[in-house]
Chain A
Amino acid sequence: MSATQSPQTLAEKVWNAHVVRRGTGEGEARQPDLIYIDLHLLHEVTSPQAFEGLRLAGRQLRRPDQTIATEDHNTPTLDIDKPIADLTSRTQINTLRENCKEFGVRLHSLGDKEQGIVHVVGPQLGLTQPGMTVVCGDSHTSTHGAFGALAFGIGTSEVEHVMATQSLSLKPFKTMAINVEGTLKPGVTAKDIILAVIAKIGTGGGQGYVLEYRGSAIRALSMDARMTICNMSIEAGARAGMIAPDQTTFDYVNGRPHAPRGEDWDAAVAEWKQLHSDEGAQFDAEVFLDADELEPFVTWGTNPGQGVSLSASVPTPEDFEDENDRKACERALEYMGLTGGTPMKEIRVDTVFLGSCTNSRMEDLRAAAAVIKGKEKDPNVRMIVVPGSARVRLEAEAEGLDQIFKDFGAEWRFAGCSMCLGMNPDQLTEGERCASTSNRNFEGRQGKGGRTHLVSPLVAAATAIRGTLSSPSDLVNTPVAV
């Protein structure tokens, strides 16, 4: 970097390193830049129409060697050795298999050791690395930003565009710093940080921005936890979230199947060490959060911004000044079957879901297992545990976590998106209430009429024991199973 160059943010550095062609013009009239894409992840739901588009136009897949596919959204989490019962799901999966064969794309199918949620698979194979551009036809692609990659979800037209050109026409994003300083209290996790961020800036607060999570509380987090945070950037409206890579990142990537080796590793790390926002870099917006003040956070409503501390109560419409917010609250309370003023901890759930690209990695499973070990599940609660990938499942089994879940009375399933969005048979029924470690509490998201409370894995585990929304600190007086 020359001495005259102005300081850059992390996002700007990665962007600038991928400009194939700079758009002309200034300000609002500026044409988009053509940005090169390092890695394209595919799954069965948002790719069939894109492959079809390529075929109809007689176009090639430009870089099969920078493309990888897995089956995740539709896949069953039981009986995976049998044909998929739902015919439309089976057709969609088969279509992906045929397309990958025709276009030479590496695919990890159901039953394969590397199959799993696309955002769990990329990092665990070492394909997600600092400074890359990563896209996928899935809004939770922001997950990969935990490595200091610029990663974002795209629509199917853009999927086809990347297939054909390995690039995207994009207008530069604005940048927002999310500063989280301090130390988290015991029982408070990455999930609570991001839910608090979303509640603070709102579901539209991040629109047009890349969020950069910074500060001592972020630096102290593991890669699994950083992925949880970046994953939900989209829930604040931001297409991407990033964290500057550091030794924690390098240690995670090192030795993974697709990590650079030998001289390439040294060159890569030297480059990755430059990937941080420069001293004096200007963000378009800044947000501050005090980690010491945070508590376990849960949602009460039907969008991820409708959250409160677990120790608080369900709000009433009168708590909101803005008329639209008041109406949204009224509607959410009605859908959720809740009365304003009810303490969150008195809300009884029917189901606990531990899984999704937000919280289905080893650290999440370990955290939940540690809480439930030797405890008894509330007999009226069903708990479903869905590892993020087949490999996470194997690792968890090697550690004996599966046995802890089974002894507790939880269902130990095969990997996939599962009940996060209920495209497979894992769905809530009308009126069923769920404490879910997933990312969206939208109406009907987990099944028609289902009611979702977003929670951390620790809260999920404690809730499965008590039957009401709880944190591990509420368990002091719970009888221990003999």
Chain B
Amino acid sequence: MEKIVSHTGIGVPLRQSNVDTDQIIPAVYLKRITRTGFEDALFAGWRRDENFILNQEPFNEGSVLVAGPDFGTGSSREHAVWALKDYGFKAVISARFADIFRGNSGKQGLVAAEVAQSDIELIWKELENNPGTQVTVDLESRTVQCGSISAPFQIDDYTRWRLMEGLDDIGLTLQHEEDITEFEAARPSHKPKTLPARFAD
């Protein structure tokens, strides 16, 4: 994973709550077997509307999405994060993120910055009044900057550290492989196994 300490880019105000992952990427785009190439799928339904924010300059060049509360609800599809990243987004700002989306973001180097809704309202106004305004998301200081607005954001320490160091999760866990083996040796014998397969009579 690429290290990310701070990012500055055009902010995109998305004045909507409950942006579910079916909106971020509709299910028909989930049939691909690759991990990249999802930029065309991002908000595919909404992008058919020419008034949608990403169809307007300079927002189509944006890299920091500023959305309403409960962003990323619904399906666990990590494709939502891939689509945001493939389009060019490096960070999403919202007052509340769905748990699985937040987790997926952390694994893929997309910053999910939790900012108070009152600050988001200010940022929205700034971005709407001055389209093209840059937003800085700084993991070091855990702050978001937009014009004269400076707001703190929440992100858990572990995710922040992994993002800043660009660490691979599996590699980290495999450092403790002996612990896993030891745990497995002590599991009760009644725990089910999928193999060999058993079938109903």
Contacts and interface: CB of A to CB of B under 8 A. Distances in A.
**A, B assembled together:** yes
Interface in A54-75: 57, 59, 62, 64-68, 73-74
B45 to A, nearest CB: 5
Given A137-B76, A157-B78, A203 B18 contact: yes
A203 B69 CA distance: 10
Interface residues of B, number: 64
A268 interface: yes
Contacts of B98: 204, 207, 237
Contacts of A91: 31, 33
Interface in A136-173: 137-139, 153-158, 160-161, 164-167, 169, 171
B173 A31 contact: no
Contacts of A443: 22-23, 45
A273 interface: no
A102 to B, nearest CB: 14
Contact of B200 (A62, A156, A257, A422): A257
Most buried by B among A157, A259, A305, A391: A157
A4 interface: no
A135 to B, nearest CB: 10
B70 interface: yes
A165 B174 contact: yes
B31 A391 contact: no
Contacts of A129: 191-192
Contact of A208 (B99, B197, B200): B99
A127 B69 CA distance: 37
Contacts of B18: 203-204, 303, 305, 328
Interface string B3-34: 00000000000011110101100111011111
A321 interface: no
A89 interface: yes
Interface string B98-138: 11100110011000000000000000000000000000000
A406 interface: no
A373 interface: no
A479 to B, nearest CB: 40
Contacts, number: 223
Interface stretch (B57-65, B83-91, B144-152, B182-190): B182-190
A48 interface: yes
A377 interface: no
A32 interface: yes
Contacts of B100: 139, 153-155, 234, 239
A204 B73 CA distance: 8
A444 B45 contact: yes
Nearest to A257: B198
Given A89-B31, A137-B76, A167-B173, A442 B190 contact: no
Contact of A258 (B20, B79, B192): B192
A267 B190 contact: yes
A2 interface: no
A20 B195 CA distance: 23
A132 interface: yes
B179 interface: yes
Interface in B139-191: 156-158, 169-170, 172-174, 176-177, 179-180, 183-184, 187-191
Given A207-B98, A448-B45, A167 B107 contact: no
A301 to B, nearest CB: 10
A21 B16 CA distance: 40
B177 to A, nearest CB: 7
Contacts of B77: 45-46, 155
Given A158-B107, A203-B18, A443-B23, A264 B190 contact: yes
A57 B170 contact: yes
A115 to B, nearest CB: 13
Nearest to A138: B76
A92 B34 CA distance: 10
A49 interface: yes
A203 to B, nearest CB: 5
A313 interface: no
B163 to A, nearest CB: 13
A155 B199 contact: no
Contacts of B170: 57, 59, 160-161, 164-165
Interface string B30-41: 111111000000
B199 A257 contact: yes
Interface stretch (A34-42, A214-222, A346-354, A457-465): A34-42
A423 interface: yes
Given A20-B176, A161-B169, A68 B31 contact: no
A167 B107 CA distance: 15
A21 B23 CA distance: 37
Interface of B: 15-18, 20, 22-23, 26-28, 30-35, 45, 68-70, 73-79, 81, 96-100, 103-104, 107-108, 156-158, 169-170, 172-174, 176-177, 179-180, 183-184, 187-195, 197-200
Given A66-B193, A125-B198, A139-B76, 5 more contacts: A31-B158, A132-B192, A161-B169, A166-B184, A268-B188
21 contacts: A21-B176, A21-B179, A46-B77, A49-B33, A64-B195, A68-B194, A86-B31, A88-B32, A92-B31, A106-B194, A155-B104, A157-B108, A204-B73, A207-B96, A207-B97, A260-B190, A303-B73, A327-B15, A328-B17, A423-B28, A444-B45
Closest 10 CB pairs of A and B: A157-B107, A155-B104, A155-B78, A48-B33, A257-B198, A153-B76, A264-B190, A260-B190, A88-B31, A139-B76
